[in-house]
Structure 1
């Protein structure tokens, strides 16, 4: 009879192989996913979560996309990234379980768990699955061949992430199975603990979602006062003459020029924006042109430049939202580059392709306007990385999604090109809708009865300018005209201000603001969500007089 010292370890059951393999796959997969995200952020590697997330948003019905955006808000893409990463880790876990079951059936030797070679075999299978199945399904081609980083960067970065998985998988398996006997004794306790944690997690998650929904439901006007439309005119003829004058600096009023580090940032990328090397970067101008050519960054900087103040607003900005900023830009007029290339007859659009595989287009007539710039500087500084270094587009009068960043290629085409967000249901024309924002007082502020305060904010109408801003204290039944600060250019927002004597009677008061552009068009009072053409409606706040 064999002694305990010489007897072979008991052969794991199918259930034990399944659980241990899944756990090892999950732990090694978490490390591999982290490596993948780091390589994507710092070494131009491919990120499967980014690619899968983009595919999910493309396939998502427009109504569902809008509902989730309104429910979760601007953090929706972060939640999506987390969900995709968790899904990827579950795939790792499932692969570990299946591999150990297959190994147990065909290759198992009693007493031996997975060796280093097993980790490499499983990692190789996952590498092939990612390159030959997952990436093609997301539209990136075999091993990401159609991505801007190319197939080579995709292959090696997936290989490095796979190496991390291969090294950790067998170690994690043996670590998980080392205390199998002790865990058997504690299985009931662990099961009960997991069930308790699961119940608590589900409860907390549900409460969190309900709280987020309730917060947005309350703050975004589910029961907001309705502005009266009685006597509303969509256009005033002749247009009002702007009431320019000095304004008093007050807390919370937007600065006329937004500092670079405070300028709003929105991109399609779930985690990391591209970091472009200006020394190796080049810009290709081609498509339906007589003379295609390429420029280096140094050559681009030698071309004549134009400076202009211009404001920008994101199409996903809610009424009164923060995604609106103003800066002094410096760049090369796009028409200079296009005229050198000489577009062919029949050309209708100009397409911009970017280092993060984003793309969009504008009409050729818009591209030839002198104010459409390829910006290289922002507020007197080299264009920051987060704002598109080395080159971004500026298109006055059109929402920010058209202002492509990290541009690498410009193509003139003779068809109706639909860009990244247009394929997901957003407007292609994307003309900015007039908006007014109340910056101060803050919504929900408590003001002292009888005190003098200032109601102030910004108004913006793309390149159509602002002739008047009005403030109402009775939901639009009457309006008081605010003073405008003369704008820095015809392409920027306008700062406005109205002194107001706070009523002596305590209570809650509603303040509403609207704008009129230089053509006499009155801001649309009808509430509409950002998707698909940009938000509309009047910004309304409530203050409390004590």
Structure 2
């Protein structure tokens, strides 16, 4: 009779789902004490981000934009639920298939935590605790749901609905309490309070004032300064790191005369400088949105590197973020006094927003962010290209990453009135400077646009012009020429390996 006993599929599915919930809750609880990103769910999601094919990453960035990580979490949750349902279906008669599958899933969680460079070995306790909790709950519930067998070989009923309800609610509630406790413990060092305590940052060397005609927002361009809340954000952090100033330090080591470590107070007490710098992401397609401009406040990075003493033969400044992300920058760019590389502490008149790198980040004009803009930076290793390979470099991206001369059309929209039409947008050639912008309507001749005042070669410039259009459909293209004499190529190239090229073209209707 024993061999004939089995769970109904709803019972088996509930058993697996409750085991999954218990595993995730306990794993999140332990992660609160040993490292927040050691939570199995977070670790596996981060693993997916780190190992997804470029085509998938590019599609997510372009299509989902800032919702990409939310969609990833939802997608992973759906996969886990389907996995639990499959486990239940395979385990209606015996718990062994489910136990094996739970063990395999747990091993994946352990592996995802093990490969993270920002976590120590103690962090493995989180996925181990998760798999133990999942196995215990699954085994106990499987036994709980099995019909009882009496001495005379009669098969009894399984637990009644009241017991099922009480048991299910108890397990789910326990898992929820565990997860919430882990969330509270893991985020109790809230960086927002630390950020508020920094107070006002004051520059000893201020940036030049912005002239009134620095932007053409009235003609449809973005404002000269991008508000911090609107500044584009592209990073691999599934969970935004919460780093307090009192816990943060910056270590410079490797091919240097002396290893140095700076606390936040060490850096804040120095004379601070202001610079207006436009940042652009290498994954920005032609005409894309991943470019923004801000006023940065911080310290000359060159000064810190000189204090450490960069040795001859050094080629790369290998930067590491608190979440383990790495970035390789040419040493000559970091040391070039004309380039103005910064360790930024502030942005747009306030301490760095947490999602943009608080307490400190790197800002190097003229280089795409993947080689120049490490957020939540904690370590700078001076080394060679052969010795260390940064996060994006071993995924097929270029090594140097200079920003390419580009331009974008922001107005008009899809429909306008025939007659005089304003066409406007932005152009950029960081560290070289924009010399002129031209537009072409319906494959006609190129005509010059009006450029906004140049405040720095490291910031974007706005442009606008007015054209006459008849009723019907029209197409407008734009190109920029930088101050070296280079004019944008019309050849359309994708973002890999070192940035897109091509002319931005938009179509609109006139009525």
Counterpart of 1:357?
324
**Higher mean Cα deviation, 419-428 or 256-265?**
419-428
Counterpart of 1:24?
15
Residues 488-542 of structure 1, C-alpha deviation per residue, up to 9 Å, x if partnerless?
21100001111233x3x32001111110001110012111122222111111111
The root-mean-square deviation of aligned C-alpha atoms, in Å, is 3.8
Instruction: Measure the CA separation in 1 of the matches of 2:117 and 2:81.
Output: 23
For the pair 1:377 / 2:351, whether they are aligned, the reply is no
Counterpart of 1:261?
229
Tell me if structure 1 keeps the 8 A contact 2:438–2:446. yes
Instruction: Please give the secondary structure, in 1, of the residue aligned with 2:244.
Output: coil
Once the two structures are TM-superposed, the CA of residue 344 in structure 1 deviates from its matched residue by 2.4
Counterpart of 1:407?
377
Counterpart of 1:512?
477
Q: Which of residues 365, 386, 400 in structure 2 aligns to 1:429?
A: 400
Counterpart of 2:455?
488
**Higher mean Cα deviation, 407-416 or 174-183?**
174-183
For the pair 1:87 / 2:56, whether they are aligned, the reply is no
For the pair 1:338 / 2:323, whether they are aligned, the reply is no
Gap regions ≥5 residues in structure 1: 1-9, 106-118, 184-243
Residues 383-421 of structure 1, C-alpha deviation per residue, up to 9 Å, x if partnerless?
110000111111111112221111111111134332111
Tell me if structure 2 keeps the 8 A contact 1:28–1:172. no
Residues 5-57 of structure 1, C-alpha deviation per residue, up to 9 Å, x if partnerless?
xxxxx868566377634442234425654776798799724144554455456
Once the two structures are TM-superposed, the CA of residue 157 in structure 1 deviates from its matched residue by 7.1
Counterpart of 2:277?
310
Residues 57-88 of structure 1, C-alpha deviation per residue, up to 9 Å, x if partnerless?
655555x5478559956455554444444334
Instruction: Measure the CA separation in 2 of the matches of 1:498 and 1:100.
Output: 71
- Report matched runs for 1:164-175 at 5 Å: none
Once the two structures are TM-superposed, the CA of residue 300 in structure 1 deviates from its matched residue by 1.9
Q: Which of residues 475, 479, 495 in structure 1 aligns to 2:446?
A: 479
Residues 460-496 of structure 1, C-alpha deviation per residue, up to 9 Å, x if partnerless?
1121110101111023x41111111113211000011
Distance 1:175 1:542, change over 3 A: farther
Residues 314-340 of structure 1, C-alpha deviation per residue, up to 9 Å, x if partnerless?
111111111110000011111111111
Tell me if structure 2 keeps the 8 A contact 1:374–1:393. yes
Q: Which of residues 461, 479, 488 in structure 2 aligns to 1:523?
A: 488
Tell me if structure 1 keeps the 8 A contact 2:26–2:129. no
Instruction: Measure the CA separation in 1 of the matches of 2:37 and 2:51.
Output: 24
Once the two structures are TM-superposed, the CA of residue 250 in structure 1 deviates from its matched residue by 2.2
TM-score, reference length from structure 1: 0.71
Once the two structures are TM-superposed, the CA of residue 100 in structure 1 deviates from its matched residue by 6.9
Residues 182-212 of structure 1, C-alpha deviation per residue, up to 9 Å, x if partnerless?
99xxxxxxxxxxxxxxxxxxxxxxxxxxxxx
Tell me if structure 1 keeps the 8 A contact 2:7–2:92. no
Instruction: Measure the CA separation in 2 of the matches of 1:49 and 1:532.
Output: 31
Tell me if structure 2 keeps the 8 A contact 1:24–1:93. no
Counterpart of 2:261?
294
For the pair 1:134 / 2:108, whether they are aligned, the reply is yes
Tell me if structure 2 keeps the 8 A contact 1:33–1:89. no
Instruction: Measure the CA separation in 2 of the matches of 1:290 and 1:482.
Output: 51
For the pair 1:44 / 2:36, whether they are aligned, the reply is yes
Instruction: Measure the CA separation in 2 of the matches of 1:411 and 1:246.
Output: 38
Aligned length: 447
Tell me if structure 2 keeps the 8 A contact 1:290–1:344. yes
Distance 1:58 1:358, change over 3 A: closer
Instruction: Measure the CA separation in 2 of the matches of 1:41 and 1:485.
Output: 51
Distance 1:14 1:97, change over 3 A: farther
Instruction: Measure the CA separation in 2 of the matches of 1:37 and 1:440.
Output: 47
Instruction: Please give the secondary structure, in 1, of the residue aligned with 2:245.
Output: coil
Counterpart of 1:229?
none
For the pair 1:323 / 2:290, whether they are aligned, the reply is yes
Tell me if structure 2 keeps the 8 A contact 1:127–1:159. no
Once the two structures are TM-superposed, the CA of residue 159 in structure 1 deviates from its matched residue by 3.1
Tell me if structure 2 keeps the 8 A contact 1:66–1:531. no
Distance 1:441 1:87, change over 3 A: same
Q: Which of residues 387, 390, 397 in structure 1 aligns to 2:359?
A: 390
Instruction: Measure the CA separation in 2 of the matches of 1:492 and 1:430.
Output: 17
Tell me if structure 2 keeps the 8 A contact 1:45–1:157. no
Instruction: Measure the CA separation in 1 of the matches of 2:426 and 2:25.
Output: 42
Distance 1:165 1:307, change over 3 A: farther
Residues 114-166 of structure 1, C-alpha deviation per residue, up to 9 Å, x if partnerless?
xxxxx9xx69x958974xx435644x53xx6x532423345247637965885
Instruction: Measure the CA separation in 2 of the matches of 1:41 and 1:319.
Output: 42
Tell me if structure 1 keeps the 8 A contact 2:277–2:458. yes
Counterpart of 2:206?
none
Instruction: Measure the CA separation in 2 of the matches of 1:39 and 1:261.
Output: 33
